[in-house]
Structure 1
Amino acid sequence: MVSLTGWWHRRSDPARIELYTRSSFYFFALSEMAVLGGSLASGVTSAGPRLGLLGLAAVHAALCAVLQARGLDWLLGRRERPVRLLAAVATLSVGGAAAALALRSGSSLLHGVDVSVLVVGLFAYGLGAMVLGIRGTRPMLYGVLGAAVGMGAVCALLGLPGPTVAGFAAAVLVASGVMVLTSGCSVWLLSVVWELDAARELQSQLAVAEERLRFGRDLHDVMGRNLAVIALKSELAVQLARRGRPEAVEQMIEVQRIARESQHEVREVVRGYRRADLAVELAGALSVLHAAGIDGTAEGDDGSALPPEIQAALGWVVREATTNVLRHSEARSCVIRLSTGPSAVLSIDNDGVPEPAGSGISGSGLNGLRERLATLGGTLDAESRAGAFHLTAGVPLPRPEVPATVAQQSGPVV
């Protein structure tokens, strides 16, 4: 079953919505052939006009399908605007409708009801496809109104009665309006979904860039002054050495001291950068999840009573897991739980996993967390099933030391 549905699970939510939207547009082409072909097959009394109009409907449906596919790519910024296809569909829609009306008026080969279905169908399906080649609500509205007015003008030029002219114009207006509204809303929804996905990815990139800037700023603040002092004292030592002054040795000793202090301060900056505070990471994770539109909640202990090294290790788990939720899933909810007892157990559950991958999931980030927890005797387990991801980190807590006097008092009495 997984092999049959893997092509679907491997897609992201925006890709699934796009596939559904494209399939809907292709269904429009099939429905056009079914509606127009069915009416023509039973309503045309002569084989010649029947085959000609069936061929017209087939070519029109095929052009609309190609226009919808390429127009959707254009609206998503993947290719140029299909101007020639737009002109071809518009010409075929208007020309085919006019030809059918002319045949209906000039001979008895067509029945009126069949001409109505053909004419209205050509305009409705044609405008529904042309929507994907234009942008903006006004051009869509003008297209629908123009089709209705043009249909009425053609009918009037062919000498049809007033009620027939009004009926054709109203039918084209209603049917075209429904098709344009349906196609336009589908395209708008798909565009919004892709824009939200792009904004989500951009937010992750900005968070990483902001962290890099912070680290660079902290490192500059620490090293800037010390390097300036080292450069100044080194230059002074050079001048004193050239003059044979014994103070040059003292200046170089001072340079050595400052260099060692700088090395210590850099280590502190890196250690502070690498050390993750559990409370801060929990608050930051919830903030980022909410900003990304994910329902994030934290349950259980707040971890404030845990030893600092365990808080740091679990804080890194929270940070890495939150990054994975944002980058590798289409999550709608994420629950973070922390329980303390003989061990501190942190579990993170989220939905929206594209493809079931079973247990034993590995990766550079998860492997790094396993190594970090292993130094404290902890473990990390990751599992993905049924579209949900479950991450569990456990670290044993140190036993409280019992004072010697208490141990003696609680011992056996002989």
Structure 2
Amino acid sequence: MAGTRQDGARGWPWRSWSDLSEVERVDVYTRQSLYLLLWASLAFTLVGALPEADEVTPRLVAVLVAALVLGLLGTRALTAVADLYPAEGPLPWRQVGPLLAACAVAVTLVVTWAGDLRSAAGAGIWVVLAWSLGGLRGRIPSAVLLAVLTVLPAVVTTEWWAFAYGLVTGAFFLFTCRVSLWLLGVVTELDAARTAQSALAVAEERLRFSRDVHDVLGRRLSTIAVQAELAATLAGRGDERAAPRMLEVRGIAHEALREARELARGYRPTDLGQELEGARSLLRSAGIGAQVDVEGLDPSWHEPAAWVVREAVTNVLRHSSATTVAISYAGDVLEVRNDGAGGPVGDAGTDGSGLSGLRARLAPRGATVEVEHDPPSFAVRVRMPAPALTGAPS
């Protein structure tokens, strides 16, 4: 995100204000304000020295050239310091180093001068350091910079009161830079959080859709496979019941196609009654008996219970040789049990992706999924506490 913000700020001169995002506008406003303060302060400190000069002397030219060089180096350093926000990174020595070296050389020369030109030049160096490096993060860099800003006025003016002046004004400049860049960092982080939240919402929707596809199409395809196998067996025997079976397969395929379209459009509701009736029909078609007793199940748990029934019945059709399936509810526990579990196969033995996905969907509602594998019996139990205790939606 920081990289995007920097690219937007650097490309701003070639883009209109209306083309910038809100974050890029804040970035541009903050940076341009700090640049303006740096150059305005530098110019103001030098203006006082010009009336005192009756003519353009080499020393005055040197001061003006040095001010231009320090201003450019300071702008470069300020840009690098601003680029650190909102993260705390290592000091940008490639930009800060040349500025510090130039300021050290300038101070060494200025202290040998006398008069107002010396004070103006010293003030110019001071404001460049304050605005350029005032946004540096970390206790040590901040403490060192404040110490330099405190001592520098006294070194240039040789007055004792300059210590207090440097300390107070230096602290104010550092505070101003830090607050400005801190606000920029906050805005950038909020924008990054909003972007991450949008991406998370998309990911959650994709996960929800993939689960629905797994639940709906998985069950339908399992039924088609069972019915097609039965029809092939009947056809091999010359049994007339093969044709009706294939017609039933076609009907199931059309139903699966309809449900897939509903899933794609987001219109398909999950209804417990429909799931139980569909489970009975599918199990009956596969020659499996079904016993259903979910009396007393709270209506707020009907949709999650439908997920459980759909997943459990799909696993029965895929992985078991069951002859009976019992779906029951008692004591806050919904159970789907079958009598056809063999060795560890598929979800029956390895607790595969279907049951793992079911756990993930039920966990936010306070429900827990338990599996009992004791051949030939296999059971999926879901504990569904009272909504008042779990905050489940009613």
**TM-score normalized with structure 1 length:** 0.52
Match of 2:78 in 1: 68
Q: Distance in 2 between matches of 1:54 and 1:274?
A: 75
Q: 1:265 to 1:32 in 2, by over 3 A?
A: closer
> Residue 88 of structure 1: SS of its match in structure 2?
helix
- Provide Cα deviations, 1:301-340, integer angstroms capped at 9, x if missing partner: xxxxxxxxxxxxxxxxxxxxxxxxxxxxxxxxxxxxxxxx
Any residues of structure 2 matched to 1:284-363 within 5 Å, and which? none
Post-superposition shift, 1:144? 0.9
Match of 2:61 in 1: 51
Residues 134 and 173 of structure 2 are in contact (CA less than 8 Å); yes or no, is this contact kept in structure 1?
no
> Residue 135 of structure 1: SS of its match in structure 2?
coil
Any residues of structure 2 matched to 1:4-403 within 5 Å, and which? 7-43=16-52, 47-75=57-85, 82-103=92-113, 110-111=114-115, 113-132=116-135, 134-136=136-138, 138-149=140-151, 164=159, 166-270=160-264, 272-273=266-267
Post-superposition shift, 1:150? 6.8
> Residue 169 of structure 1: SS of its match in structure 2?
helix
Q: Distance in 2 between matches of 1:272 and 1:141?
A: 59
Which residue identity does 1:36 align to in structure 2?
A: T
Q: Distance in 2 between matches of 1:116 and 1:180?
A: 21
Structure 1 stretch displaced more, 83-92 or 206-215: 206-215
Q: 1:241 to 1:184 in 2, by over 3 A?
A: same
Which residue identity does 1:144 align to in structure 2?
A: L
Residues 151 and 163 of structure 2 are in contact (CA less than 8 Å); yes or no, is this contact kept in structure 1?
yes
Q: Distance in 2 between matches of 1:29 and 1:267?
A: 62
Q: Any stretches of 5+ residues in structure 2 without a counterpart?
A: 1-14, 270-394
Post-superposition shift, 1:86? 0.3
Q: Distance in 1 between matches of 2:110 and 2:214?
A: 78
Which residue identity does 2:144 align to in structure 1?
A: Y
Residues 130 and 170 of structure 2 are in contact (CA less than 8 Å); yes or no, is this contact kept in structure 1?
yes
- Provide Cα deviations, 1:201-244, integer angstroms capped at 9, x if missing partner: 33333333333333332233222211111112223333443454
Q: 1:271 to 1:189 in 2, by over 3 A?
A: closer
Residues 123 and 147 of structure 1 are in contact (CA less than 8 Å); yes or no, is this contact kept in structure 2?
yes
Q: 1:262 to 1:95 in 2, by over 3 A?
A: same
> Residue 173 of structure 1: SS of its match in structure 2?
helix
CA RMSD of aligned residues (A): 3.4
Which residue identity does 1:180 align to in structure 2?
A: L
Residues 23 and 187 of structure 2 are in contact (CA less than 8 Å); yes or no, is this contact kept in structure 1?
yes
Q: Distance in 2 between matches of 1:99 and 1:190?
A: 37
Q: Distance in 2 between matches of 1:272 and 1:75?
A: 41
Q: Distance in 2 between matches of 1:260 and 1:42?
A: 93
> Share of identical aligned residues, percent?
32
Residues 120 and 175 of structure 1 are in contact (CA less than 8 Å); yes or no, is this contact kept in structure 2?
no
Post-superposition shift, 1:187? 1.2
Which residue identity does 1:261 align to in structure 2?
A: E
**What count of residue pairs does the alignment treat as equivalent?**
253
Residues 128 and 183 of structure 1 are in contact (CA less than 8 Å); yes or no, is this contact kept in structure 2?
yes
Which residue identity does 1:27 align to in structure 2?
A: L
**TM-score normalized with structure 2 length:** 0.55
